[in-house]
Amino acid sequence: MHPDSPSSRLPAPGRRAVLGAAAAASALAALPGTASAAPATRKTPVRRKPRALPGGGDLGPNVLVFDPATPNIQGRLDEIFRQQESAQFGTGRYQLLFKPGSYHGLNAQIGFYTSISGLGLSPDDTTINGDITVDAGWFNGNATQNFWRSAENLAVVPVNGTNRWAVSQAAPFRRMHIRGNLNLAPTGYGWSSGGYIADSRIDGQVQPYSQQQWYTRDSAIGGWLNGVWNMVFSGVEGAPAQGFPNPPYTTLATTPVSREKPFLYLSGSEYRVFLPEKRTNARGVTWGNGTPRGTSLPLSRFYVAKPGVSAATLNQALAEGLHLLLTPGIYHLDQPVRVDRASTVVLGLGYATLIPDNGVTALKVADVDGVRLAGFLVDAGPVNSATLLEIGPSGAWRDHSANPTTVQDVFVRIGGAGPGKATTSMVVNSRHTIVDHTWVWRADHGDGVGWETNRADYGVVVNGHDVLATGLFVEHFNKYDVQWFGERGRTIFYQNEKAYDAPNQAAIQNGSIKGYAAYRVGDGVTTHEGWGLGSYCYYNVDPGIVQHHGFAAPNRPGVRFHDLLVVSLGGNGQYERVINDTGSPTSGTSTVPSTVVSYP
């Protein structure tokens, strides 16, 4: 977020009271036996198995399903937007679903924790003749806090030829077809700090204007207007040519490995979840030539979870072989959700939010093939968790190259909605994992924020080999934001801000080094590569703090970086170097990046 946004921000409502969650206890039946010729005997109590959980079912009250004949769609959209427009740390969660067909005269304004999606197999099955709008009127034209909202699987014919999607972090734009231009800035241009596009076609021009950084993957665009600091493209037809640092474009012809996010759709009157297939050296959209490639599952194969359900029940469903569909709302957990079966899908709607209440890990994945985690938020609880999300156990070693685990639009937050703590937010131990768009955020504003109040030392730790991150946003951790110890790791696009609230230089001193790197590759790693990585500092408590470098890595030929930048926002803190001891220092109060085009 740009420092010109107020440091105190808007007051946030307190966290909702804990939702009730009770698991049905197994009944015990003591069955005494008697006989006329023998003394009475007592049988051992029999523990009955829990009743099998049903698959499928309704999607709950916070999933709104529209068809072209639904009356007053605009009125319902407006009602939800009024509630969610400024509810940055509120408890409301909504999923808006549009059945295939054409809709006319709509302007769907999308606020916090609101997802809008089409229910066709292709975006072109569901056409909005109108707009899907994100603007920043609630924050005086500043879009740097337009988080936690999404648009997926729709075609849009904008009223005036241009659709506005002025977002920052955690606001994915997936499988969209814009039959016109796409403006990524707020009215009046203001500030904006996004963002992410994947598997989308924009027939006209993408217009970032004030966007500080952006990542676009496996898409097709009619043109790209400008860049501020860091614009990254992989597998994008029509992308601008490589130009970093001026213009600040990092362009890869293809994405090494990708597999699109699972999505809900209608087959006749039946809900199903589509599972796109893996692509290598991908370029362009998956849906351009009719039916996308992949498989699908009926909703009956999913446990449709509602807020208030216990972790024990979620684990029972998983143990019974069901996948999980998390409907919108807040889920309090007193034990980890354990994904132990290969190819399990955990799909959230409307920013379903998992909160570990007693210091547990929210979700753990076994060392198995093909798990798909998508579309939910993990919010740290008030008792410190050692980790919040674990992909594979410590020591995971199996080869998952044929069917990797994917983590997509899974966001992690520590503080902001109330005090939260976690030593490490996300740990990736499984080989070949694809982390495709995440924002892992130690809050810099909201409720329960302070250097120790929402303490979180480490953002993302990667121990597994052959892990790929496409669209990695990690911000504000007390120590290292990203540490990468696995071999052959790759990151395409990284956005980072160091913690604003460090009280003084001593608080971030890392042995003899001034500050902890935003992205550190372990000393023993021999092969690693990154493209389009940026780190910013804004030390607003002590603007005199000096950060030695944004990036740290072993200096060997197999560890390579392309297009790195560091920037001091308004002179609030400075970097001495970009990576290791290489690169120019940031200078004075001018918010001008220092760059390194190639390292070593």
Alpha-carbon span 413 to 477, nearest angstrom: 11
Q: What are phi and psi of 81, to 5 degrees?
A: -65, -40
DSSP class per residue in 342-407? TT-EEEEEEEEEEEESSS--SEEE-S-S--EEEEEEEE--SSPEEEEEEES-TT-----TTS--EE
Task: Specify the DSSP class assigned to residue 87.
Answer: -
* Residues whose CB is less than 8 angstroms from the CB of residue 274 and which lie 6 or more positions away in sequence, other chains included: 121, 262, 263, 264, 265, 292, 294, 295, 296
Alpha-carbon span 409 to 263, nearest angstrom: 12
Q: Which two tokens stand for residue 329?
A: 């709302």
- With b for 16 or more beta-carbon neighbours within 10 A and e for fewer, the 499-522 pattern comes to bbbbeebebbeeeeebbbbbbbbb
Half-sphere exposure of 483 (CA within 13 A, CB side): 18
Type of residue at 478: N
Assess whether 152 carries a catalytic annotation: no
Would you put residue 548 in left (φ > 0), alpha (ψ -120 to 50) or beta?
Answer: alpha
Instruction: Say which of 85, 260, 390, 497 is annotated catalytic.
Output: 497
Type of residue at 474: V
Alpha-carbon span 484 to 173, nearest angstrom: 27
Alpha-carbon span 285 to 279, nearest angstrom: 11
**Which residue in this structure is represented by tokens 């597994």?**
464
Q: Which two tokens stand for residue 246?
A: 């001026």
Q: How many beta carbons lie within 10 A of that of residue 225, not counting itself?
A: 15
* Residues whose CB is less than 8 angstroms from the CB of residue 334 and which lie 6 or more positions away in sequence, other chains included: 21, 310, 311, 356, 357, 358, 360
Task: Specify the DSSP class assigned to residue 125.
Answer: G
DSSP class per residue in 21-40? --PPPPPEE--EEEETTEEE
Alpha-carbon span 421 to 440, nearest angstrom: 13
Q: Which two tokens stand for residue 397?
A: 């070693």
Alpha-carbon span 142 to 135, nearest angstrom: 9
Closest CA to 233 of 206, 212, 201, 255: 255
Torsion angle defined by CA atoms of residues 91, 409, 319 and 393, in that order, rounded to the nearest 10 degrees: -120
Residues labelled as active-site residues = 497
